[in-house]
């Protein structure tokens, strides 16, 4: 079945065609008819399967049809997202799909001034895409009213719970009409997720897309055994060997992201960082530059890059192995999207080998080992663009990076407290 065969709005079909969608993915094929019939849906599907369009397409069609029913103005649909980047990304999808309809959407999130968001809310919107913190701030100030809401979407529900948003979700329900359609989307299912889901939905249709391999088939996986202090030299080498490729690098901590960026800077490699201590404008700018290809290397933490959809990412580098094995799947899901092929390379130090074993057990297969002989390993350290041996200088630089990081965080906290 093709999208042109669906009984949906012609303007919506036009947008779908312009975006290059021809046939629905499995999650779209199984979800769209139920959502169009007004049923609650509990959907479990891995990253990169087309979940966003699975709920955005039918929601836009339903709201477009209801515009002819003389219904009172107000927010008709709330889409709750765990992070600012995801909220903006989902908003872009809604805008693109609704371009040739009368359905409008608005995105609100924290980390930026609220005045422009309030002004947009006062103009009115059909769909509100929001992160919990800013949404409840605006509710408490009386700028958001949920009395007209007919649809609720909880997206990336497992990530919501990881970030401690379960109370926010339950608080949101108190503001919504009891008679509504609820769509619950998550990449994984657990007892906590199941309990939350069934407390929100009413006789839901359960859809689970769970292939034997939890990661996309068009991603090649490899691991290189590299000592922790040597990782930056091998990252430098990889980048220099693929200068035209988009490379997404994952690290464990915010400070480590800044340190790796500075290490690349010392060898004349331009990169950007994405993590929770960055201001919203900095995060948006980093993503924009990476998407456009102006910056080829983006260094990120798990929380910041979860669910981000950036086309053309050829390499995902696990500079540090993730603390949670599930995050390996989310990380490598940033490459090999759609029909593209991708490469996931992990740098594993001696102290990370136990984590590697857990990841392989989770994937139910071994990851190919990149064999680096002693001579090749030594050559990588010797021929780096970084001046080796000046450890005192490197330590001073590391301390300066940490101080800058702490100062920037402190400045933002003070600025926020001053506004309050």
CATH code of the domain covering residue 22: 3.40.50.300
| Same-domain pairing of 93 and 199 | yes
**End of a domain among 187, 209, 231?**
209
Q: For the chain, how many structural domains are there in total?
A: 2
| Same-domain pairing of 31 and 106 | yes
| Same-domain pairing of 35 and 166 | yes
| Same-domain pairing of 102 and 166 | yes
Sign of the C-alpha dihedral computed for residues 322, 327, 328 and 331 taken in this order: negative
246, 317 Cβ separation under 8 angstroms? no
Inside any domain, residue 105: yes
Inside any domain, residue 378: yes
Inside any domain, residue 296: yes
For 188-216, how does the pLDDT look when each residue is reduced to its tens digit (9 = 90+)?
A: 777 888 888 888 888 999 998 865 555 66
| Same-domain pairing of 234 and 375 | yes
Inside any domain, residue 411: no
**End of a domain among 183, 209, 235?**
209
| Same-domain pairing of 78 and 43 | yes
Inside any domain, residue 415: no
Q: How many CB atoms lie within 10 A of CB 372?
A: 15
Residue 350: Cβ-neighbour burial (10 angstroms; 0-12, 13-18, 19+): exposed
| Same-domain pairing of 315 and 181 | no
Which parts of the chain register pLDDT below 70?
Answer: 47-48, 68-72, 210-216, 304-307, 338-339, 386-420
Inside any domain, residue 132: yes
Q: Which residue has the tokens 């079945």?
A: 1
- The pLDDT value recorded for residue 389 is 44
Helix (H, G, I), strand (E, B) or coil at 151: strand
- The pLDDT value recorded for residue 219 is 87
Inside any domain, residue 63: yes
Tokens read off for 117? 């968001």
| Same-domain pairing of 170 and 71 | yes
- The pLDDT value recorded for residue 391 is 44
| Same-domain pairing of 110 and 91 | yes
Give Cα separations from 322 to 47, 235, 253, 256 (angstroms).
17, 17, 10, 13
Look up the domain containing 231 and give its range: 219-401
Helices 84-97 and 51-66 pack at an angle, to 10 degrees, of 50
């Amino acid at each position: 079945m093709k999208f042109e065969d669906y009984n949906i709005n012609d303007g919506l079909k036009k947008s779908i065609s312009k975006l290059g969608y021809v046939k629905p993915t499995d999650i779209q094929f199984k979800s769209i008819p139920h959502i169009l019939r007004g049923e609650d849906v509990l959907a479990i599907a891995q990253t990169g399967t087309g979940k966003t369009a699975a709920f955005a397409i039918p929601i836009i069609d339903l709201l477009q049809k209801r515009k002819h029913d003389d219904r009172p103005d107000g927010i008709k649909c709330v889409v709750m997202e765990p992070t600012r980047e995801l909220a903006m990304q989902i908003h872009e999808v809604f805008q693109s799909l609704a371009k040739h309809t009368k359905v409008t959407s608005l995105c609100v999130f924290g980390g930026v001034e609220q005045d422009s968001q309030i002004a947009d809310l006062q103009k009115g919107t059909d769909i509100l895409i929001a992160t919990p913190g800013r949404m409840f701030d605006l509710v408490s100030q009386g700028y958001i009213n949920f009395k007209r809401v007919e649809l609720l979407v909880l997206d990336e529900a497992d990530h919501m719970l990881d970030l401690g948003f379960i109370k926010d979700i339950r608080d949101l329900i108190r503001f919504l009409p009891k008679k509504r359609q609820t769509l619950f989307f998550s990449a994984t299912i657990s007892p906590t997720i199941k309990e939350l889901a069934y407390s929100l939905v009413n006789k839901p249709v359960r859809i689970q897309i769970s292939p034997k391999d939890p990661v996309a088939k068009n991603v090649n996986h490899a691991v290189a055994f590299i000592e922790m202090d040597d990782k930056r030299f091998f990252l430098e080498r990889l980048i220099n060997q693929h200068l035209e490729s988009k490379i997404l690098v994952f690290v464990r901590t915010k400070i480590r992201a800044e340190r790796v960026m500075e290490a690349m800077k010392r060898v004349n490699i331009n990169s950007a960082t994405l993590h929770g201590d960055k201001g919203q404008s900095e995060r948006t700018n980093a993503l924009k530059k990476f998407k456009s290809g102006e910056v080829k290397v983006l260094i990120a933490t798990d929380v910041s890059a979860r669910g981000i959809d950036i086309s053309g990412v050829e390499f995902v580098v696990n500079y540090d192995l993730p603390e949670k094995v599930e995050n390996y799947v989310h990380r490598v899901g940033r490459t090999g999207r759609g029909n593209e092929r991708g490469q996931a390379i992990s740098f594993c130090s001696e102290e990370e080998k136990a984590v590697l074993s857990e990841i392989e057990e989770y994937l139910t297969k071994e990851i190919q080992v990149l064999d680096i002989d002693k001579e090749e390993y030594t050559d990588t350290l010797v021929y780096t663009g970084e001046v080796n041996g000046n450890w005192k200088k490197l330590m001073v630089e590391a301390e300066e990076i940490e101080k800058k990081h702490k100062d920037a965080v402190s400045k933002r906290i003070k600025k926020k407290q001053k506004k309050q």
